[in-house]
C-alpha cells in the first residue's frame, strides 16, 4: 500500500511538473507609431510560447509593423513552431482595412513551404507584375513571424544581426536583410538593458512590380533600422523600435510597454467592499 501511495504521489508530481512546463508563456508589447514627432497609430503585439510552438498576434495600426506590407489597421496573426533560425509558420492571417477598403489574407504553410494562399480583394492585374514561382515559396516565414527572433543563450553579439529573412505575405516574396549590428544599452523607457541595433534592407524577390514607385523607394531605402530587445519570458528577441527614413521625415515605431501587466483598475469611491464569509 505504501509503495502504491508513493508511486501515485510521484506520478502526480511528475504530471504537475509536465503541466507547468507545458503552460504557455505570454509577453505583451505596446507600440506607438509616429511620423514627424506626431503619434499616428498604436499596436499591440502578443507573443505566446509553449516549448517550440509560438503564436504572435498584432492588433491595431499595422502600418510599419507587419513588414511594411500593409497600411491601415486591424489584426494579423502568425502561428507555428520556432526553430533556431526563426519562426516557421503553419498559418498567417490578416483581417484589416487598407485605407477605406477591407483586406483579408490567409496563408497556410507546411514546415516553411506555402501550401495555399488567398488575398481578398486581389490587386488589379498588371502585366508588369512578376509571378511568384514555387521555389520562392519554400523556406519562408510571414510578415508577423519575421518580427520574432530566437534569443541567444549568451550575451548579445553584433554578428547576431547578420541574417536574411525570406518573407511571403500572400502575394509577394521579399527578403528582409539585417546587417551592420551593434550592441548598446538602453537606460530610459519601458525596457532597460542591452539591445541589438541592426540596419535593415527590403529586397523584393517576386510578386512585385519592378518599376512601381513604392517598390523602388523601399528597395533603394538605406535608412531603415530595427532595435531588438530580449523578451526572456518567451525566449525571443522582439522589436523595441523600428525607424524608416522617408522623403518627408522619419516614421518610427517605439515600444511604450514592454511585457509589464497594466495595473488593475481601482474601485470607485462609492464602491463597497464585498462581505467576508
| 223 within 8 A of 244, measured Cβ to Cβ | yes
Q: What is the pLDDT along the chain (277 residues), one digit of tens a residue?
A: 433 333 333 433 333 333 334 567 999 999 998 877 777 788 999 999 998 899 999 998 644 444 343 456 789 999 999 998 899 999 999 998 766 688 899 999 999 999 999 999 998 889 999 999 999 999 999 999 998 999 998 999 999 999 999 999 999 999 999 999 999 999 999 999 999 999 999 999 999 999 988 899 999 999 999 999 999 999 999 999 999 988 888 889 999 999 965 555 555 544 444 333 3
Amino acid at each position: 500500500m505504501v509503495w502504491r501511495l508513493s508511486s501515485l504521489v510521484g506520478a502526480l508530481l511528475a504530471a504537475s511538473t509536465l503541466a507547468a512546463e507545458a503552460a504557455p508563456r505570454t509577453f505583451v508589447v505596446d507600440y506607438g507609431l509616429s511620423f514627424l514627432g506626431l503619434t499616428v497609430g498604436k499596436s499591440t503585439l502578443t507573443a505566446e510560447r509553449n516549448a517550440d510552438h509560438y503564436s504572435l498576434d498584432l492588433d491595431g495600426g499595422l502600418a510599419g509593423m507587419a513588414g511594411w506590407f500593409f497600411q491601415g489597421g486591424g489584426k494579423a496573426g502568425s502561428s507555428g513552431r520556432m526553430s533556431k533560425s526563426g519562426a516557421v509558420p503553419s498559418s498567417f492571417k490578416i483581417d484589416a482595412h487598407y485605407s477605406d477598403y477591407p483586406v483579408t489574407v490567409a496563408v497556410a504553410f507546411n514546415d516553411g513551404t506555402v501550401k495555399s494562399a488567398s488575398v481578398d480583394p486581389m490587386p488589379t492585374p498588371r502585366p508588369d507584375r512578376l509571378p511568384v514561382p514555387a521555389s520562392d515559396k519554400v523556406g519562408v516565414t510571414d510578415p508577423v513571424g519575421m518580427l520574432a527572433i530566437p534569443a541567444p543563450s549568451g550575451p548579445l553579439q553584433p554578428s547576431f544581426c547578420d541574417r536574411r529573412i525570406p518573407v511571403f505575405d500572400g502575394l509577394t516574396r521579399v527578403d528582409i536583410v539585417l546587417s551592420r549590428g551593434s550592441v548598446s544599452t538602453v537606460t530610459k523607457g519601458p525596457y532597460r538593458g542591452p539591445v541589438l541595433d541592426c540596419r535593415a534592407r527590403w529586397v523584393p524577390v517576386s510578386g512585385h512590380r519592378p518599376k512601381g514607385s513604392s517598390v523602388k523607394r523601399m528597395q533603394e531605402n538605406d535608412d531603415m533600422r530595427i532595435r531588438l530587445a530580449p523578451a526572456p519570458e518567451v525566449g525571443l528577441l522582439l522589436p523595441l523600435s523600428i525607424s524608416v527614413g522617408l522623403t518627408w521625415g522619419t516614421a518610427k515605431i517605439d515600444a511604450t510597454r514592454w511585457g509589464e501587466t497594466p495595473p488593475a483598475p481601482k474601485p470607485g469611491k462609492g464602491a463597497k467592499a464585498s462581505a467576508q464569509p
